[in-house]
Amino acid sequence: MATGFKIRLLLFLLTLSFVITALTLRLTYHREDVLKTDAQELEKNLHEQEQFVNEFLHNRADFESLKTLDTNAVLAEKFLTEFRIARAVYVFTYNSNVLVFWGANRIAPQTDAGLKEGSNMVNWQNGWYEAIKRTDGKFSAVCYIPIKANYPIQNQYLQNVFAKTLIQTDNLDIAGLGDEQVYNIRSSIDSRYLFALKLKPVTNNTYFSRAEAFAWLATVLLSCILVNLLCSWLADRGYIKAGIAGLCGWFLLTRLWGLHSDWFISHFNQPVFDPQFYGAGFFYPSMGDFLLNGIAATWCLCFAYKYRARIRLAPGQAGTPLSIAVFIGMGAILSLTAIHLNNSLHGLVLNSSIRFDITSLIIDLNPFSWLGILVLCIAFLNLYLLMEILLIIGRSLPLSDKQRFAAFAAMVLFTAIVKLVQQNFDIFFLLFALVVYLRGWAIYRKNNEFNLVILVATVLLFATIASIKLSRYQFIKDREARRVWAHRLDLSDDQNAVTYFNQFESNLVQDEDLTGYFDHTKPERSLMKNKLQKFYFDGYLTRYDLSTSEYDPAGNSMDGDTSNTIDQFRELVVTGTIKVSQYFYRVNNTFGMRHYFAILPMSAKNRDLGTLVVELKSKTFDEPDAFPQVLAEGRADETGIIRDYSFAFYRDNRLVDKYGKFVYNLGNNEFTEVKNEFENRRVRGYDHLVYRPNNRNLIVVSVPVQGWLIELGSVSFLFLVLLTFSLVCVLVNWSWKNFVRTHQESTLAAWKYFISGGHILYKTRIQASIVAAVVTTLVLVGVITYYSISKQYSKQQEQQITERIARITTAFENQMLKNDQLNITFQSFNNFADVNSADLSFYGADGTLIYSTQPKIYDSFLIARKLNVITFNYLSRYHRSEYFNPEDNVGRMLFISGSRPVRNSRHEIIGYLTLPYFSNKHELEEHKGQFLNTLINVFSLILVSIGFFAVFMANRITYPLTIIQKSLRLTKIGRKNEAIKWHRNDEIGSLIREYNTMIEALEESAGRLARSERETAWKEMAKQVAHEIKNPLTPLKLGVQLLDKSWKENDPNFNKKFERFSKSFIEQIESLAHIANEFSNFAKMPETSLESVRLREVVERSIEVFSKLEHTSVVLDDQLGYDKMVKGDKDQLLRCFNNLIKNAIEAIPENRKGLIRISIAQRNDKVFVEISDNGKGIPDGLRERIFNPNFTTKSSGTGLGLAFVKQAIENMLGSIHFKTEHDVGTTFYITLPLA
């Protein structure tokens, strides 16, 4: 059984086993198994944490150390690090059930009175915790282990999931009393029941689903490898087109089935297969499918690329018109593929929510953006492979290079005319035509040898194309987004605001603080307004200016303001508003702004207290007030979009309002004569989308136009990406070839060859060394620079915050302290914060929150009403005068804060003032991103420039070596060799002088060697002639002696004997004549007549001689072309090919169908011919003498056939050698010079 068949059988069995495994998993596991598996994992991790806490609490020394946590700063910091950060365990200590030390801000119960000794389950306002308590007299310590979050607000920072220390998946939930199919969790300390777990309605990412997904993935991969091997088996036996068609058909059917059945999205629940990120029809429903389509195409093209040199589209004797038609057809295929790539790139940008704006912040590119860039690289790789395949196939057509270039130029000219007629001319097709020209020149003129300059130029052109297209399509996408934004600016409705109105309006009319103002139990109007601002109209709604009007049951204003009466609002409801919720209305005809108001009836115990009118007017388009994003309910925030745009409102050509960096004119004299609903103008470095909803109003949305330096940086960045991808592909291909070449060698030898560089050119090593040195330097400089600048940004921000909190604290002490006593109210605190334009929080001396400008964070129990535990440790226990906390947090939202103690005139601490910067963490990252983006663009340009400089310098450095190489290549023994002229006295000059001395000595040695070889050759020839003549003379002598004896004895059978011996004599004489002719022909070898010979014609004539054989077929693979000429003797070449084909046929066993392959190719100025057979090969002991004139492996023959071939080829300034393998076959390699 052949090895190949064994491998294919093994792959089939493995594929089948994975299919059975996947189906078994799908059919056998149930939801109960998922619940049990995940719950047991959570239980195991929880018990580990319980044991850690229990051992700690019951260690006497450790437990005693907890009693000093509230006074020992060093010990407190150690515990915060080891427990809170490393273990996610929160340590709290109590004296007489009163909290004295808290180890986290997520939870901070003021008392432990309700907790029992041992394990307790605590359902706090923001989640579930296990509390493990130990008491010693009045002292008690409680360790809280977070189980699952339960925040009242859900967004990217607040997610109600189990603690990551317990379980990573999101399939479980806390079960209620009425739930079935639950898993009970008990404490490992005292076996108390803690809680029960249930499965969520939708489960994913389970152990079983991951195992099933892996089995299906292995099935797909192994089946593809199996089909690839089967198609390779077909192609290796001459059925190349069938093999390619089979593989392409397999992938096509597989992808069609996957697309039709949504197989991947059902088995691989990954965002990459989610259409919300990208979707463009049946063939590209998601980014994952786009990637799979690209990989499938790459696999098929790589397979075709492997056999590209043996693919034939036109018959061998095809005429020029048919060949030109085939060549143009291949050009049309390549053009259609390029158009499809262009359309796919267009859809990738426009039909997705993925950001491809690489001219902006490269650091802001998300994983989907990088995945899109990978898809782009694969698409260009596929286009390149198809181009290479078609160009190689085109080389087999009987066309000259001039005919190919003429056809190519005609196609480019025709395409240009069509695009001009269609008014769709762009630079894309010209750049791609240049890529095709470069690759065609390398293949047809340079015989497709590796050229780093051509590779870099090709990659640079592809990067330019990609940059232009991405920039263009991103601009189109942005223009469409601006159209939508212009419509939204024209529309008065704010859907996010309306959603908030519906959520809290029912609470507004029942709020006790609001009704208290109307029944005079809470008479301060400022408190009422602060309650509205801080608890209802905060967060997203801070972009509106809030005003209120209060009316008694009779409709009279409660504050004496008669400018707005209740009747005016009621009349507005009837005449000029749209009702958006139960109590809220939107005012019509408010161009450039949004205006809402609500008429809220206030009552208590069925008693009418009056009416509260809340009025909201959108602020002028300044930057929205900073508010913690952690309070947002996960809705789409428009702030990022607003920050990127500038826009203006004009009514009757007068500026109503504006926003952004662009300076608009007060009078509309730049956007006049707008005839269409939408028009685009470029004015003063900005692209303006002008929207005219009616004859009076005009909205302008503007974005800055990217400069040429930014575009150049984009090209450089994409060039580096594509070049890295190309080098990875080249390295993988080269490594695979080396692996195949050295698979029979030892692993050590293979690695030595790999590391040493194999056959990499010296100039390539110089180029690689220069580029590697520059890259290393740039990376080191970039990393150090980025780290230094980032540190400077952070230090600068820390200094700004500490200076500001110092100023605010001083002002706070001056204004809020009277007679060393705090004179502060909620209203005065908020007024103080507004005056200082800052968010502030004030804590008591024990760290308990008193006032905050963001009370919703604490009232919603997102964190406890305590000062950050690390900040409190430094200010209270280390007695620091200030503390900058770079990693303050609410949920997963990190922000920075500065804190200082507030002291009275006796320097006693009476509280702590904290300045949280909720937005500065993002601003810091944005500054870093902008700097890094600039750094990458600059370094990309430098690297590209250095790359081309390296190519130039390497060529200059290796130019003398190229001269020496050329001279060495032309050096021939037995003829006059020219000396090299070099005028510099350097290392190259010394090498050249040695070379010149060598060729002088070589000429003398060549003469002596020639004489010696001639003498030796004629001696060997004489021996062979004597031996070959003696063989037939012996039977002649014996026959004459026998006839003489019969004659003398009058033998009656003399006539019969004479007739028989006469025939034998004639055969021996003919043998002598054959020997004489063979040696005569060999003796005439120096008489070689060199002329231009059409090699393909000679080979085809030789193949015709053996075309009638039944059990042997001869296949010609011509990559040279019909019109290519070589220097040689036509008759001797024909005899050489006849001899080699005849020997190949005789070497094939009788029980084997013979296959002889002849391939012709060109490399530089040489033609290479390979003649291979599938015979029994040449034995090891006979290989060294195969070209000797007196040697033969056959029972009959002179042994001059291969000697004649060798002598004839060498007389034509060519060479011949062979490779053979036992029972596999022999291949002869012939090299001839081009004419």
Mark whether 91 and 200 lie in a shared domain: yes
Please tell me the distance from the alpha carbon of residue 218 to that of residue 235, in angstroms, as a whole number. 25
Is 59 part of a structural domain of the chain? yes
Strands 90-95 and 139-149: antiparallel
Mark whether 1112 and 1206 lie in a shared domain: yes
DSSP state of 278: B
Q: How many residues does the chain have?
A: 1235
pLDDT of residue 727: 82
Predicted structure pTM score: 0.69
**Region of poorest pLDDT, from 33-47, 127-141, 1025-1039:** 1025-1039
Please report the DSSP string for 471-505 in residue order.
Answer: HHHHHHHHHHHHHHHHHHHHS---HHHHHHHHHHH
Mean pLDDT for 166-185 is 88
Whole-number Cα distances in Å, 992 to 788, 984, 1232: 52, 10, 28
Mean pLDDT for 957-969 is 76
Q: What is the pLDDT of residues 695-726, one digit of tens each?
A: 888 888 888 887 766 677 778 778 888 888 88
Count of CA atoms in the C-beta half-sphere (13 A) of 892? 13
Is 865 part of a structural domain of the chain? yes
Mark whether 715 and 696 lie in a shared domain: no
Mean pLDDT for 416-438 is 84
pLDDT of residue 1192: 52
Of 745, 767, 801, which one is at a domain's C-terminal end? 745
pLDDT confidence band for 1087 (50 / 70 / 90)? low
- If one counts the domains in the chain, the total is 7
Apex CA 530: angle with CA 527 and CA 536, to 5°? 130
pLDDT of residue 639: 47
Is 265 part of a structural domain of the chain? no
Please tell me the distance from the alpha carbon of residue 692 to that of residue 675, in angstroms, as a whole number. 9
Mean pLDDT for 1135-1157 is 85
Mark whether 55 and 198 lie in a shared domain: yes
pLDDT of residue 267: 63
Amino acid type, 981: K
Mean pLDDT for 872-891 is 91
Mean pLDDT for 928-941 is 73
> Could you give the residue ranges of the DSSP H alpha helices within 240-366?
240-261, 263-267, 287-306, 320-350
Mark whether 574 and 432 lie in a shared domain: no
Of 205, 229, 257, which one is at a domain's C-terminal end? 205
Mark whether 604 and 499 lie in a shared domain: yes
Mark whether 1112 and 1032 lie in a shared domain: no
Q: What is the pLDDT of residues 631-685, one digit of tens each?
A: 766 544 444 455 678 888 888 888 888 877 888 888 888 887 776 778 888 888 8
pLDDT confidence band for 868 (50 / 70 / 90)? very high
> Could you give the residue ranges of the DSSP H alpha helices within 1121-1200?
1130-1146
Q: What is the CATH number of the domain that holds 883?
A: 3.30.450.20
Amino acid type, 48: E
Is 1044 part of a structural domain of the chain? yes
Please tell me the distance from the alpha carbon of residue 1155 to that of residue 1144, in angstroms, as a whole number. 9
Q: What is the pLDDT of residues 775-796, one digit of tens each?
A: 788 788 878 887 888 788 888 8
Domain enclosing residue 871, as ranges? 788-920
Q: What is the pLDDT of residues 476-518, one digit of tens each?
A: 888 888 888 787 777 667 777 888 888 888 888 888 878 888 8
Is 508 part of a structural domain of the chain? yes
Do 1193 and 1147 touch, CB atoms closer than 8 A? no
Mark whether 672 and 727 lie in a shared domain: no
Please tell me the distance from the alpha carbon of residue 706 to that of residue 687, in angstroms, as a whole number. 10
Is 21 part of a structural domain of the chain? no
Is 624 part of a structural domain of the chain? no
**Region of poorest pLDDT, from 742-751, 805-814, 863-872, 1131-1140:** 742-751
Please report the DSSP string for 934-957 in residue order.
Answer: HHHHHHHHHHHHHHHHHHHHHHHH
Count of CA atoms in the C-beta half-sphere (13 A) of 841? 21
Residue 744 has pLDDT above 50, yes or no: no
Q: What average pLDDT does the chain have? A: 81
Written as six digits, the tokens of 1140 are 């080699």
Mark whether 445 and 523 lie in a shared domain: no
Of 1059, 1078, 1097, which one is at a domain's C-terminal end? 1078
pLDDT of residue 359: 58
Whole-number Cα distances in Å, 132 to 100, 138, 167: 17, 17, 20
Is 962 part of a structural domain of the chain? no
Please tell me the distance from the alpha carbon of residue 54 to that of residue 133, in angstroms, as a whole number. 9
pLDDT of residue 249: 92
Mark whether 812 and 721 lie in a shared domain: no
Smallest CA-to-CA distance from 847 within 883, 798, 817 is with 883
Please tell me the distance from the alpha carbon of residue 592 to that of residue 1022, in angstroms, as a whole number. 112
Please report the DSSP string for 116-142 in residue order.
Answer: PSEEEEEEETTEEEEEEEEEETTEEEE
- C-beta contacts of 210-216 below 8 A and 24+ residues apart: 211/25, 212/22, 212/25, 212/26, 212/267, 213/267, 213/268, 215/18, 215/19, 215/21, 215/22, 215/25, 216/18, 216/22, 216/267
pLDDT of residue 1032: 67
pLDDT of residue 637: 47
Mark whether 317 and 353 lie in a shared domain: yes
Q: What is the pLDDT of residues 1103-1136, one digit of tens each?
A: 877 777 777 888 888 777 767 788 888 888 888 8
Smallest CA-to-CA distance from 1029 within 980, 1069, 981, 1087 is with 1069
Mark whether 447 and 514 lie in a shared domain: no
Classified as helix, coil or strand, 705 is coil
